Structure 1
Amino acid sequence: MFPDFNRWSLPLLILVIQGLVFVVLLFSRYFKKKHLSDLFLGLILLLTCYAQICYTLGFLGWYNEFRTTKINYFLINIGVALAPLIFLYIKSITTSNFRFKTSYWWHFALAFVIIMYRFSIYTYDALQPGFNDTQNGILKIELDEAYIQSILSYIETPFMLLYLAFTFQLFYSYRKKIIQYFSNTYKLELNWILSFLILFSLSFLYGTIQDIIGSRFMDLGYQQRWWLNLFMAIITLYVGIKGYFTDTTKLNKLDFTFTPKTIGIPEDTNDFEEKSISNNDIDTVKYLMETDKAYLNPELNLSDLAQLAKMTRGQLSETINSGFNKNFNDFVNEYRVNAFKSMLKEDKHKQLSLLGIAQECGFNSKATFNRVFKKLTNYSPTEYLKSQLN
């Protein structure tokens, strides 16, 4: 009987429906605001929801009720499209002024070939006598299931691994880059994206092991494969929620137009004679930090400090990296940590919480403050305070 709501079908159905709700929300926002990250994420969710349909319908009793269903023709290996989409999604939110280039379509060449192949065998089988009386036609059975599916399974695994490697490389490159530009990076670190990539990689590993066991050691039925689909459905919902409610569009405005440790392109378009590091540059930066206390601005970034110093971002970055032997993030936060220590000596902790003092010193999040303080002092803030009181 269809639909059969049971302990196998109901969780998948609920998660898939919720995932599709976020697909609609993301697509709607894309058509209103034209943010490519919304389009990519919406497509990622749509494909992962699509992949769950086969199992959801199976547990709902679709195949028992509709013996001649042709749905198998359209259950396509989504990995060859999903992996490039994840890569482009990460690229779209970590690259300043991201635009979709025509060359990016080549990422989906294999997916388009598979789709055309599936429609071709469906068209051929549909023209054969008796097609309406059976579930799978002659090419689906004797070509697709006999040979092509096995071949695709060998192609899909290295394809996914390659794109996952590229995606992790892209993400960690972005992480390394932001510490050269921003003093408070916690809100820019996209920790939920890293969680998503790790979860997706684990699900891919789980699926690969499951396929190996199912093809070489024992036959795995729907119920044994249910857990992977539940895991993927949960990941889909998690990504949908985080992706929709997290504003990643501000990252698209980040301007990474020079390579740190080199003199870069000036902020304005006027020609500019590049200058090497001088003691005067170092003294200027010291004055801004020690006298003007520029570090007290929690939103201080490389561009802000460069404007105050009347330098280009490239010159300032080179001055900090070579003159102080630090990246921008460590350079600014060391001043903030020293200011925090000074306030503790003045017994400010009797009037404010440790977090309150940290905010007075220019930190804008507890996570950043705790991590930076531990890195620079080898103590947590609380441990440091106790050591000073003893």
Structure 2
Amino acid sequence: MLVVSGISLSLFLSVLIFFKKNRNTADTILSFWLFTVFIHLILFHLSNNGTIEKHPFLAGIQIPFPLLHGPFLFLYVSELIKNHKTIKIPYWFHFVPFILTFIYLINFFILPGEQKIDILKNDGYGFENFIVFKHILNIISGLGYIIWSLFLIRAYKKALQNQFSTLPYINLKWLEFLSLGLSIIWFIIIFANETLIFTSVSIYIILVGYFGIKKGEINANPKLDILENQVKPKQNPIVASIDFHKQSTNRYATSGLNQEKTELIKSGLEKYSKKEKAYLDPDLSLNILASKIGVHPNYLSQYINEILETSFFDYINSLRIEEFKNKISKEEHEIYNVSSLAYDCGFNSKSSFNRNFKKITGKTPTEFIKSSSK
């Protein structure tokens, strides 16, 4: 029953995403991936209920399919976060193992139907070495692409923290869910039988459908490109003579952050971050703050990372937390609820406020308020 549900939902989601309005490249990749899951589940279902014995031309077609899921995950993650630092590899190159495996299996596909069925029933008799090699290749491909995808997500999240004061939490969790969910399935592949494997795949697809449609990740995936559409800083007269465009794009590699710029940034942060409370803007970014101060974002990022020893994200949110604690000390929480105060302090969601408050203070807002009132 679960497999049938997985078959139906994977086809439904594939079609839904493919024909969605303003479909982008990431959507197309996800749509093709879900359609691949649909075909894979159908072939397993037909094999499991004995239907393939009546249609032996389908026998073995599903064997190379596990080599598709890792590449599809990686391409989807890579395209969604627009990782420009990744070595550019043509899409088709990721599917070479699948293509070569399929070509090798032609020797199996051209056999008489009854012989193919007998080979499958006898644990691949005559193809034992291939089966062992294929199992190892499946594990290397699956886990390798999952680790690569998680590495990209982690690097992306770190880059975001140096650019923005608010993270696209839902989208990050969506990518982590896809990656970690698939990693669980690959561990099941290593230790379990086919029935449990495809049951877990079906559950995975059902969860993808439920969370994707409920939370909107599938139907409204924004482009999470942090390297494009950046705000060009307005030059302050003090630093107008500096040619920022000649700065190296390599992070701090050829930085010109000297004592003069350091003092400029220090006074700028004191003015705009603390006195004028720029952190109250929930959309505040590194580029916006650098523009206010009149320095290149690279200098401001270096100052925050190396001198303050924190990320832009943590720096701004620590100021927001201090603003909240200041309001609490004035007992404003007795007039306004905690959520309202959090929004007033620059947070754009209650969950974001709670996570950051716990991270910075070690207490939940409720626990902090109770301890403060004693």
Normalised TM-score (structure 2): 0.82
- SS of the residue 1:382 aligns to: helix
Is 1:237 equivalent to 2:221 in the alignment? no
Q: Could you say if the C-alpha distance between residues 137 and 362 of structure 1 is closer, same or farther in structure 2, counting changes exceeding 3 Å?
A: closer
Distance 2:2 2:371 in 1: 52
Shift of 1:248: 2.9
Q: Aligned residues: percent identity?
A: 23
- 1:358 is aligned to 2:345: no
Structure 1 residues 379-388 or 142-151, which shifts more? Answer: 142-151
- Native 8 Å contact 1:183 1:332 kept in 2: yes
Once residues 56 and 137 of structure 1 are traced to their aligned partners in structure 2, the CA distance between those partners, rounded to angstroms, is: 15
2:41 to 52, 65, 73: 52
Secondary structure at the aligned position of 2:223 is classed as helix
1:86 corresponds to 2:63: no
SS at match of 2:68: helix
Give the deviation of 1:275 after TM superposition.
4.7
Which of 100, 120, 137 is residue 113 of structure 1 equivalent to? 100
**Could you say if the C-alpha distance between residues 34 and 116 of structure 1 is closer, same or farther in structure 2, counting changes exceeding 3 Å?**
farther
* Contact 1:188 1:251 survives alignment (8 Å): no
Q: Is the 8 A contact 1:181 1:329 kept in 2?
A: yes
Distance verdict in 2 for CA 1:24–1:97, change over 3 Å = farther
Q: Secondary structure at the match of 2:56?
A: coil
What residue is the counterpart of 2:174 in the other structure? 192
After superposition, what is the alpha-carbon deviation per residue over 1:326-363, rounded to whole angstroms, capped at 9, x for unaligned? Answer: 21011111111111111112221111111110110001
Contact 1:94 1:251 in 2 (8 A): yes
Point out the more displaced range, 51-60 or 301-310.
51-60
Unpaired segments ≥5 residues, structure 2: 231-242, 248-255
Provide the aligned length of Structure 1 versus Structure 2: 346
Q: Match for 1:229: what amino acid? A: F
* 2:327 maps to which of 333, 336, 343: 343
Of 165, 168, 182, the match for 2:147 = 165
Cα distance, 1:159 vs. partner? 2.6
Distance in 1, Cα, partners of 2:89 & 2:13: 27
Alpha-carbon shift at residue 272 of structure 1 (Å): 5.2
Using a 3 Å threshold, how does the CA distance of structure 1 residues 114 and 272 change in structure 2: closer, same or farther?
Answer: closer
Decide which of 201, 206, 216 is 2:188's aligned counterpart.
206
In 2, Cα distance between equivalents of 1:243 and 1:90: 15
CA distance in 1, matches of 2:67, 2:336: 54
Aligned twin of 2:82? 95
Q: Distance in 1 between matches of 2:370 and 2:167?
A: 28
Distance 2:72 2:172 in 1: 18
**In 1, are the aligned partners of 2:280 and 2:320 still within 8 Å (CA)?**
yes
Change (3 A) 1:143 1:33: farther
Deviations 1:6-42, CA, capped at 9 Å, x for gaps = xxxx33212211111111122223xx63512112212
TM-score by length of 1: 0.79
User: Residues 271, 98 of structure 1: CA spacing in aligned structure 2 closer, same or farther, 3 A cutoff?
Assistant: closer
Q: How does 1:107-186 map to 2 (within 5 A)?
A: 107-119=94-106, 121-122=108-109, 124-125=110-111, 131=112, 134=114, 136=116, 145-185=127-167
